[in-house]
Amino acid sequence: MQVIENKVLPILLKIGNSKHLVAIRNGISMTIPFTIVGSIFLIIGNFPIQSWMDFVSNWGPQLNAPVNVTFGILGLISAIGIGYHLGKEFGVDAISNSMLTTIGFLLATLNDDWTINLANFGASGMFTAIIVGVFVTHAFKWFVTHNIVIKMPEGVPPTVATSFATLIPGAFILTVIWIVRTLLGVDINEIITIVFQPLMQGMGTLPGMLLYTLLVCLLWICGIHGDNVLSGIATPVFLSYLADNTAAFQSGAEVPHVFADGFWIVFMCLGGTGATLGLVLNMLHSRSKMYKSIGRLSLPSAIFCINEPVIFGLPIVMNPVMLIPFIATPMVLCIGTYILMNIGIVGPIVIQVPWTIPPIIGPYLATNGSIGAAVWSFVSIFISYFIYMPFFKILEKQQVKNETAEVQETETTIPVSISE
């Protein structure tokens, strides 16, 4: 624990708390409501009941329209969100920065005939949105810091003044991107995609997913929200996989990715990070009054994938006894799900569901009605329960001993009375 706390943790914290990653994470999170809405229409159009499928068969293009304009513009939405949040983080006008990032993104992703490339508006353009957003923000901030902006006289409405203040840095930013894309003929989106390809390939493998799981859980053990720290790196990859899966599912092709966005939540986070729902169930029938109370208080939130009451109430944070099951449980579930997906028992993730959706229901919907996914989720609860059991018994034994000692101490205390 000391090695993790003194050596590994500071590095991960520095990376996770970077203004860039915080802004990227917050910006990409703006895509969530759109993908969920698009997924609802995808479910309606493909709900796995034959009578329903027959009923909506003539409405396929209409039902797919919201899917196409949500999953189909993930890159564009990311550019808007990342530009806005980078502006807030680095102290420049957030709206102006968002607009410059969006226009810069459009310019960077032009076709070879210099027309707008709609294909790059999707998940394939998310990494371009990140790079363009970072460039735009730092260029904008440099001009503002060096006071190279047009200042309007007093009395001019603030919105007009802000627009003119953006003129010079905006002209510089767009000119640079224009030169690179058109005069030099550099396909910025293709190059950025190639640069990020190793990351995408790594996160799409079982070892990569297990490494991600280890890092997230280690951060939580140290009291830090591991999901938030690393989501700025992982979310663009997983979300692009989900978009690929959704497109393949719509076209009837083979779904290409196992670890799409949603895999982590619906299959590995039963009750929250660490799959702590099994731990909560252990606490519900504990011999310790304290643990039983914590279990009862934690169950409602655990059903909806919120486990802070357990992490900080048991606690799991800085608890060496809980270190092994907290890391091992999601890893076991990851490996099991990976195997079951590859042999066809559990369906792949093709639909975005809210992260607070309960177990069994979430996997069933995310895989568009895979019975195997629902059954595996049910089985996973028991797997979590039995992995946590021996480690929880160690804590319970000590806690029961402490509670018994407190009761005995209270009973043996002789009240002092004063007689005349």
Could you tell me if residue 305 is inside a domain? yes
Residue numbers of the chain with a pLDDT score lower than 50? 419-420
Q: Are residues 81 and 168 in the same domain?
A: yes
Residue 146 burial (10 A CB sphere; 0-12, 13-18, 19+)? exposed
Residue 328 burial (10 A CB sphere; 0-12, 13-18, 19+)? middle
Contact 306, 298 (CB under 8 A): no
Could you tell me if residue 219 is inside a domain? yes
Could you tell me if residue 382 is inside a domain? yes
Residue 372 burial (10 A CB sphere; 0-12, 13-18, 19+)? middle
Q: Are residues 323 and 354 in the same domain?
A: yes
How far apart are alpha carbons 359 and 305 in whole angstroms? 8
Could you tell me if residue 251 is inside a domain? yes
Residue 290 makes CB contacts below 8 A (sequence gap 6+) with: 399, 403
Residue 42 makes CB contacts below 8 A (sequence gap 6+) with: 63, 64, 67, 246, 249, 250, 350, 351, 368
How far apart are alpha carbons 67 and 77 in whole angstroms? 14
Could you tell me if residue 390 is inside a domain? yes
Q: Which of 138, 165, 196 is the last residue of a domain?
A: 196
How far apart are alpha carbons 205 and 210 in whole angstroms? 9
Contact 212, 203 (CB under 8 A): yes
Write down the pLDDT at residue 236: 87
Q: Are residues 353 and 274 in the same domain?
A: yes
How far apart are alpha carbons 140 and 271 in whole angstroms? 43
Give the model confidence (pLDDT) of 101-139 as tens digits: 999 999 999 988 898 888 888 888 888 999 999 999 999
Q: Which of 176, 196, 216 is the last residue of a domain?
A: 196
Q: Are residues 255 and 351 in the same domain?
A: yes
Write down the pLDDT at residue 15: 66
Q: Are residues 384 and 255 in the same domain?
A: yes
Q: Are residues 132 and 246 in the same domain?
A: no
Q: Are residues 51 and 181 in the same domain?
A: yes
Domain that includes residue 358, residue range: 204-400
Question: What does DSSP assign to residue 25?
Answer: H
Q: Are residues 217 and 188 in the same domain?
A: no
Q: Which of 137, 171, 196 is the last residue of a domain?
A: 196
Could you tell me if residue 7 is inside a domain? no
How far apart are alpha carbons 268 and 257 in whole angstroms? 16
Contact 361, 381 (CB under 8 A): no
Residue 172 makes CB contacts below 8 A (sequence gap 6+) with: 139, 143
Q: Are residues 179 and 221 in the same domain?
A: no
Could you tell me if residue 10 is inside a domain? no
Q: Are residues 175 and 229 in the same domain?
A: no
Domain count for the chain, please give it: 2
Q: Are residues 131 and 239 in the same domain?
A: no
SS (H, E, C) 36-70: HHHHHHHHHHHCCCHHHHHHCHHHHHHHHHHHHHH
**Tokens found for residue 157:** 């409405």
CA angle 22, 203, 29 (to 5 degrees): 30
Could you tell me if residue 92 is inside a domain? yes
Instruction: Give how far Cα 325 sits from Cα of 33, 390, 404, Å.
Output: 33, 9, 27
> Which residue type occupies 145?
T
Q: Are residues 86 and 61 in the same domain?
A: yes
Write down the pLDDT at residue 2: 58
